[in-house]
C-alpha cells in the first residue's frame, strides 16, 4: 500500500473504484454501500484516508464469492394499486416496472448488481413511477413521455469504473421520476423527495 502519509493520486482513486466494483458485483456490497465508499475514495487526500473503504472486505488474494442463488428481480407491475419495492433486490441484465392507474416506488439503493450494466424499462399509463438510486451510480435516462413528465433529480456525478443503470421510460399521461439520492438522505420516501426537491433548487441550471 505504501506510506500512509503519502498523497493519493487520481490513478489510485480509479483503482480503488474498480476494486470496490469487484466486491459490488460479487454481492458483498449493495449499491448504497458502494456509493458511500466511492464518496470516501474521492474525498481521500492521503493513503490513510483510503483504509476505511476496505473495512469488512476481503483482500484481492481471497477467492470471489459464489454467485447468489436468488433470482434477479425481473418484473414489478401494478394496476389500480400502490406498490413499493425495496431492500436487497438483485438486478440482472434487465428489469421491467410499470402499470396503469398506479403508483410504484422502486427503491434500488440496497439492490445488488451482478454485472457492470443493467437496464431498467419503465412503462406507465395514467400513473406514477419513482426510481431511487444512489448518486454515485452512473445512470442514464431516455424514453418518451406523452402528456406526462419524465424528470431527473439530483446532481449527475459520473464516476469512471462505477456500474451503470440505463433507464428507458415510456409514459402516457403518467410521470416517471428518477431520484439520485445522496448517502445522508432519510429512507422515508416522502421526506426524501421533499429534501431532494429543495436541493434541486440550489443546483446550477
Give the list of residues 6+ apart from residue 45 with CB closer than 8 angstroms, or none: 7, 8
Distance CA 38, CA 136 (A): 7
Residues 49 and 82 in one domain: no
Give the angle 70-76-200 at the CA atoms, nearest 5°: 110
Residues 90 and 171 in one domain: yes
Burial of 42 (0-12, 13-18, 19+ CB in 10 A): middle
Domain membership of residue 33 as a residue range: 10-54
132-153: pLDDT as tens digits: 999 889 999 999 999 989 999 8
Q: Which three cell numbers stand for residue 175?
A: 410521470
Say how far residue 75 (Cα) sits from the centre of its chain: 18
Q: Which three cell numbers stand for residue 166?
A: 440505463
Whether residue 205 is contained in a domain is answered as: no
* b/e map 122-152, b = 16+ CB within 10 Å: bbbbebbbbbbbbbbbbbebeeebeebebeb
Name the pLDDT band for 70 (thresholds 50, 70, 90).
low
Distance CA 106, CA 83 (A): 8
Distance CA 191, CA 168 (A): 26
Residues 122 and 184 in one domain: yes
Whether residue 80 is contained in a domain is answered as: yes
161-180: pLDDT as tens digits: 788 999 999 999 999 999 99
77-135: pLDDT as tens digits: 999 999 999 988 999 999 999 999 999 999 999 999 988 899 999 999 999 999 999 98
Residues 44 and 79 in one domain: no
Residues 99 and 148 in one domain: yes
Residues 34 and 100 in one domain: no
Residues 83 and 127 in one domain: yes
Whether residue 38 is contained in a domain is answered as: yes
Q: What is the pTM of this model?
A: 0.85
| C-alpha torsion sign, points 189, 193, 199, 200 | positive
Residues 116 and 49 in one domain: no
Whether residue 188 is contained in a domain is answered as: yes
Domains of the chain: total: 2
12-69: pLDDT as tens digits: 888 888 899 989 988 889 999 999 999 899 888 888 888 888 888 887 644 455 555 5
Amino acid at each position: 500500500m505504501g506510506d500512509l502519509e503519502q498523497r493519493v493520486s487520481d490513478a489510485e482513486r480509479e483503482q480503488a473504484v474498480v476494486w470496490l466494483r469487484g466486491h459490488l458485483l460479487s454481492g458483498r456490497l449493495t449499491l448504497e454501500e458502494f456509493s458511500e465508499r466511492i464518496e470516501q475514495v474521492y474525498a481521500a487526500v492521503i493513503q490513510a484516508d483510503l483504509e476505511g473503504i476496505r473495512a469488512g472486505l476481503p483482500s484481492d488474494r481471497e477467492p470471489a464469492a459464489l454467485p447468489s442463488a436468488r433470482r434477479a428481480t425481473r418484473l414489478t407491475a401494478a394496476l389500480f394499486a400502490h406498490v413499493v419495492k425495496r431492500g436487497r433486490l438483485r438486478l440482472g441484465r434487465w428489469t421491467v416496472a410499470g402499470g396503469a392507474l398506479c403508483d410504484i416506488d422502486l427503491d434500488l439503493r440496497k439492490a445488488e448488481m451482478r454485472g457492470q450494466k443493467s437496464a431498467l424499462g419503465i412503462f406507465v399509463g395514467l400513473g406514477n413511477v419513482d426510481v431511487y438510486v444512489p448518486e454515485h451510480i452512473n445512470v442514464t435516462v431516455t424514453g418518451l413521455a406523452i402528456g406526462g413528465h419524465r424528470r431527473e433529480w439530483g446532481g449527475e456525478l459520473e464516476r469512471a469504473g462505477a456500474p451503470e443503470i440505463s433507464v428507458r421510460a415510456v409514459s402516457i399521461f403518467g410521470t416517471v421520476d428518477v431520484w439520485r439520492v445522496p448517502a445522508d438522505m432519510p429512507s422515508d420516501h416522502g421526506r426524501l423527495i421533499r429534501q431532494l426537491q429543495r436541493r434541486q433548487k440550489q443546483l446550477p441550471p
